[in-house]
Amino acid sequence: MEKNEDLFILDQKIKPGESKTIHFSFAKLYTSTKVEIPIIVERAIEPGPVILMTAGIHGDEINGVEVVRQVIAKKINKPKRGTIICVPILNIFGFLNASREFPDGRDLNRVFPGSKTGSLASRVAYHFTKKILPLADLCLDFHTGGSSRFNAAQIRITKEDDNLAALAETFGAPFIVHSPNIDKTYRATCKKLNIPILLFEGGKSLESNKHIVKTGVDGVMRILSEKNMLADEFSAPSKPESIILIESSKWIRAQKSGLLHVKIDCNKHVEKGEFLATITDPYGTMRFKVLAPNEGYIINVNHAPIVYQGDAIFHISTKDSIYNNGQTSA
């Protein structure tokens, strides 16, 4: 949107230069109490792009919620031009229950674009896709790792999309990860609507990590600066000198069941055969070493104290390069 015109969200008008919080009401609790999703809209007088920031698609992913909260609290969301729409918690039900899913057991990020007459999660996805998403020129979606798995701060994009690659580099997370779209996800729906989207991953569920959150907030500021939307009182942080592009990766899975003792940090570059963890039994009779199957970067670590055979315990790159100013090098 580049024209200086009124914006309509859920039948409410937001004029250029206006701030408004709109309540997206879609369901009630058993007690008949309304459940509302606050949508915070900030518009500049000068026309420009519409950027939509979302978090809490999974209700237990607190880092993403905190990124968007800080963007609002610090007034970074008040643009110099254009419009910024913030939805800090899309899955209110999950957030209330500290749960990834909706009360119907469904993952909101697997039911897009939704159905008007479907499950509760599907109805939320449907109304969001129909009434809010089409307004966006760019989406920034914030996630964390699930099931005690800690993700390195990363931007996930599809392969061979030069526009997304340039935006991901501007965001400036330590890693850019090539990740195909999964059917019925928010990201896949954006792709079908030709709306570019950056998916940020960092940290783990039910935890707020200040370093991950700072990476997310800094990235937002860089994107806004690139779009000439960052207010003059802010200065976008410098980008890292280099970013690691991960073109392919694989999971290292537990070969034994038992207590997991991780010996390395997330983000670490490891050599083939490097000692990563031990798995022991509770009785002091078994001690199994987990070794790196190849050289690469560890971008996810399982922080669970116990694991079953076959559980994913590390995510390691199998093909990576240094991404610097639009160029890659092995």
Q: For residue range 181-199, list pLDDT tens digits in order.
A: 999 999 999 999 999 999 9
Lowest mean pLDDT among 24-33, 123-132, 197-206, 255-264: 24-33
Above 80 in pLDDT, residue 131?
yes
Give the Cα separation of 223 and 237 in Å (integer).
11
**Band of residue 1 on the pLDDT scale cut at 50, 70, 90:** low
Kindly state the average pLDDT of the residues 162-191: 97
Above 80 in pLDDT, residue 329?
no
Query: Alpha helices, DSSP H only, in 85-232?
Result: 92-96, 120-131, 162-171, 186-192, 210-226
Above 80 in pLDDT, residue 13?
yes
Give the Cα separation of 74 and 62 in Å (integer).
18
**What is the token pair recorded at 225?**
């600066």
Kindly state the average pLDDT of the residues 317-328: 79
Percent of the chain past pLDDT 90, that is, above it, reads 90
**Band of residue 203 on the pLDDT scale cut at 50, 70, 90:** very high
Average predicted confidence (pLDDT) for the chain: 95
Give the Cα separation of 188 and 166 in Å (integer).
19
**Band of residue 327 on the pLDDT scale cut at 50, 70, 90:** low
pLDDT at 65: 98
**Amino acid identity of 125?**
A
pLDDT at 325: 57
Q: Which of 207, 205, 204 is nearest to 60 (CA)?
A: 205
Kindly state the average pLDDT of the residues 142-163: 95
The kind and range of the H/E element at 52 are: strand 50-55
pLDDT at 29: 81
Above 80 in pLDDT, residue 240?
yes
pLDDT at 102: 92
Kindly state the average pLDDT of the residues 154-182: 96
Tens of pLDDT along 37-90?
A: 999 999 999 999 999 999 999 999 999 999 999 999 999 999 999 999 999 999
Q: Is 217 helix (H, G, I), strand (E, B) or coil?
A: helix
Q: Which of 86, 91, 100, 89 is nearest to 121 (CA)?
A: 91
Residue count (the chain) = 330
pLDDT at 136: 98
CA angle 164, 201, 105 (to 5 degrees): 115
Give the Cα separation of 177 and 164 in Å (integer).
11
Kindly state the average pLDDT of the residues 192-219: 97
* Structural domains of the chain sorted by starting position, each given as residue range(s) with its CATH number in brackets: 7-226 (3.40.630.10), 249-321 (2.40.50.100)
Q: Which of 37, 52, 38 is nearest to 7 (CA)?
A: 52
Tens of pLDDT along 246-282?
A: 999 999 999 999 999 999 999 999 999 999 999 999 9
pTM tops 0.85: yes
Above 60 in pLDDT, residue 326?
no
Give the Cα separation of 171 and 311 in Å (integer).
32
Contact (Cβ atoms closer than 8 angstroms) between residue 219 and residue 201: no
